[in-house]
A and B are shown apart, each in its own frame.
Chain A
């Protein structure tokens, strides 16, 4: 099976702009989670989607949003970018059912730099 794919891999944006990141989960996986990774804060949970519905949400401001499509692909959007949003954004997929629901498989990430 192909793994989790994320596009783009690298992105440079300017403060105030908005950005959309994309994630394609492992085939058959219905749950997609997003994480922000920074040297100072480590890996922090943003939100999780299952069957096009947000099931869980982390403690991030409303500038961070996401959605999931019927084919389980997910997008994450950050509006009004701030310098502190520079990070590696990771997407993880899992089957989403009762069995093995919590084993999350990560993509390579999108490295976002805000200048």
Chain B
């Protein structure tokens, strides 16, 4: 089946630093989504990407849909304490398949 490799598994950074995380797939995806999950809550959609090469920003967050359609990147600039949480990538393969395949997540800790 489809697999998503998300890295790094965890990051511990200082407030104000920039952060990068990425996901790679064993197969092509038509859609990439990035989510953030806080403890005890459901994932919150951050950014959605629909075209290979697409670069999209949401405030301090920027995500890119890799041109090979097998990877995606999320960058967070000037991190702040409330960025703490687990970040997930998710991909959809295409056609009438509405199933999302999720990465294992990146746990981000920000030291004030």
Contact = CB atoms under 8 A, between A and B. Distances in A.
B87 to A, nearest CB: 12
B34 to A, nearest CB: 11
B104 interface: yes
Interface of A: 4, 31, 33, 35, 42-45, 48, 50, 55-56, 58-59, 90, 92, 94, 100-109
Contacts of A104: 33, 45, 100
Given A55-B98, A101-B98, A106 B31 contact: no
B42 interface: yes
19 contacts: A33-B98, A42-B105, A43-B43, A45-B99, A50-B98, A55-B96, A55-B98, A56-B96, A56-B97, A56-B98, A59-B1, A92-B42, A102-B33, A102-B98, A102-B100, A103-B33, A104-B33, A106-B42, A107-B42
Tell me the interface secondary structure of chain A in the complex: strand
A4 B31 contact: no
Interface string B71-107: 0000000000000000010101000111111111100
A88 to B, nearest CB: 8
Q: How large is the interface on B (under 10, 10 to 19, 20 to 34, 35 or more residues)?
A: 20 to 34
B11 interface: no
A88 B50 CA distance: 28
Contacts of A90: 42-43
A35 B102 CA distance: 10
